[in-house]
Amino acid sequence: MESEIARVQTAIQKTAEQLAELYEKAQKEGGESSAAIVEVQQMMLEDEDYLDAVYHIIRTETVNGEYAVSVTGDNFARMFEDMEDEYMRGRAADVRDISGRLARNLAGQEDADFACMEPSIIVAEDLSPSQTVQMDKEKILAFVTVHGSTNSHTAILARMMNIPALIWVPMNLDEIRTGMKAVVDGAAGEVIFEPTDDQCREAEEKIKAAQDKFRLLQELKGKENVTSDGRKINIYANIGSAGDVGYVLENDAGGIGLFRSEFLYLGREDFPTEEEQFQAYRQVVQTMGEKKVIIRTLDIGADKQADYFNLGKEENPAMGYRAIRICLKEPETFKTQLRALLRAAVYGNLSVMYPMIISAEEVMRIHDIAEEVEQELKKAGVPYRVPEQGIMIETPAAVMVSDELAELVDFFSIGTNDLTQYTLAIDRQNQRLEDFYNPHHKAILRMIKMVVDNAHKCGKWVGICGELGADLALTEEFVDMGVDELSVAPPMVLKVREKVRAM
């Protein structure tokens, strides 16, 4: 059986080489957030528990490597699928993906050649992360899958690149063939296989209208976000890595309203160093020139997990040990990030904001730690600048004391995703509660108005960086409330600008 284990180890080496090539491709084409997809799998390939399980099955059951890898992959995937945390459940796809690749290498099978694919609609049971990374993004017309998650890497890629994507579509894949004609309507949420002539004509009309609309939107580049009666609002973009800045510039956003710095911490085995963070932050602010870049400090926890934080299992992680709570309990980790941020602020228009605030006492403690960092940098003779500092308003507690908080910070950014789930007491990732989840609830809108009013009384500005910021049905109401900035996914920037200019 040792010869079989040697076969597995050879296949592991080949798999590692393939993943290294995929990592470089993903980093080049999609930036750090895409490369992190591959990095997660590289970590799994080195996981001692996973490998020990494979070797144990070979030795005790006297089976070949292909069988041992398949069984281990299924066992580990089911383990992840049984977890309560949405992020961890999503890792089941990564386990199956890496196990499948390892088994193919053991059997001497070559990967599918995605480089030569024609422009296509991708239809599948589900899409593995590495399959998604390998595809030529310019040739993907749409994704349609039987299974999947809105938090999957495929869905994230689709949102970033504005590709129509439908998940949880009931289909009999045995009846679907390569070469079939299909229509995917991302707006209506439907797919039609072998459409009739009338359905094709209707789809072509919609495509032409969408293309005409896109061309008109391009004409809005360089225009101001001003209503016909002179009210102005800033429209910024949300990003997850330095590699996403290209989408911001391509869509003519006025700045970056949310840089999710936690992506620097995900998909790795240890904390990013101060220097790693500094280089990433500096790259973004330098690329954006004079435009504002708002970087949110570490928001690990809930659905964003990194094993080396040793957070442990929680019954309700969305309301648990996460975000600023980790930073205040583990100040050295927090100070490392703050040092990198203050150093990067020298190179551009950088602002910092802190997530999951519930009290004025927390903000004062943050200021104390930031002051300690400032003194450390000054003493060491390291160039730095104290940036504009704000907080996320995403808890009902922060809303109710926003008059006090406004006196302690430079700005507010309302995180409507968490604010909605905490206010309505609904887990926004629980599909069974979809009928009850109402982000337009009067309570949410009244809270936003209260926050805006309290901020303006203190002369502070307010933005919205959650999903509601891109909700065109609410744009006019937000402007009427006096919201100063909306930060949205890059492909939504020009659509929101159009809405504002038409008001």
Residue 189 has pLDDT above 60, yes or no: yes
**Strand (E) or helix (H) holding 53:** helix 48-61
Q: Phi and psi for 295 in degrees, rounded to 5? A: -105, 125
Residue at 207: amino acid letter:
I
331/45: higher pLDDT = 331
Compute the distance between CA of residue 77 and CA of residue 27 in angstroms, rounded to an integer.
26
CA 116 to chain centre: 29
Compute the distance between CA of residue 190 and CA of residue 178 in angstroms, rounded to an integer.
19
Query: pTM here?
Result: 0.68
- pLDDT of 301 reads 57
Q: Phi and psi for 347 in degrees, rounded to 5? A: -100, 0
**Strand (E) or helix (H) holding 144:** strand 140-145
Active site residues: 153, 465
Compute the distance between CA of residue 263 and CA of residue 305 in angstroms, rounded to an integer.
10
User: Which pair of structure tokens corresponds to residue 480?
Assistant: 């009427």
Q: Using 50, 70 and 90 to split pLDDT, how confident is the model at 485?
A: very high
Neighbour order of strands in the sheet with 140-145 = 120-124, 140-145, 165-166
Residue 49 has pLDDT above 90, yes or no: no
Residue 490 has pLDDT above 80, yes or no: yes
Do the Cβ atoms of 111 and 104 come closer than 8 Å?
Answer: yes
**Strand (E) or helix (H) holding 97:** helix 92-107
pLDDT tens profile 205-255: 998 988 888 888 888 999 999 999 999 999 999 988 777 888 888 899 999
Residue 308 has pLDDT above 60, yes or no: no
Compute the distance between CA of residue 347 and CA of residue 282 in angstroms, rounded to an integer.
6
User: Which pair of structure tokens corresponds to residue 500?
Assistant: 């504002």
- Mean local confidence (pLDDT), 50-73: 87
Percent of the chain with pLDDT over 90: 45
Do the Cβ atoms of 485 and 462 come closer than 8 Å?
Answer: yes
Do the Cβ atoms of 345 and 293 come closer than 8 Å?
Answer: no
Residue 28 has pLDDT above 80, yes or no: no
Residue 333 has pLDDT above 80, yes or no: yes
pLDDT tens profile 248-282: 888 999 999 999 887 777 766 778 899 999 999 99
pLDDT tens profile 419-464: 998 999 987 667 677 778 888 999 999 999 999 999 999 999 999 9
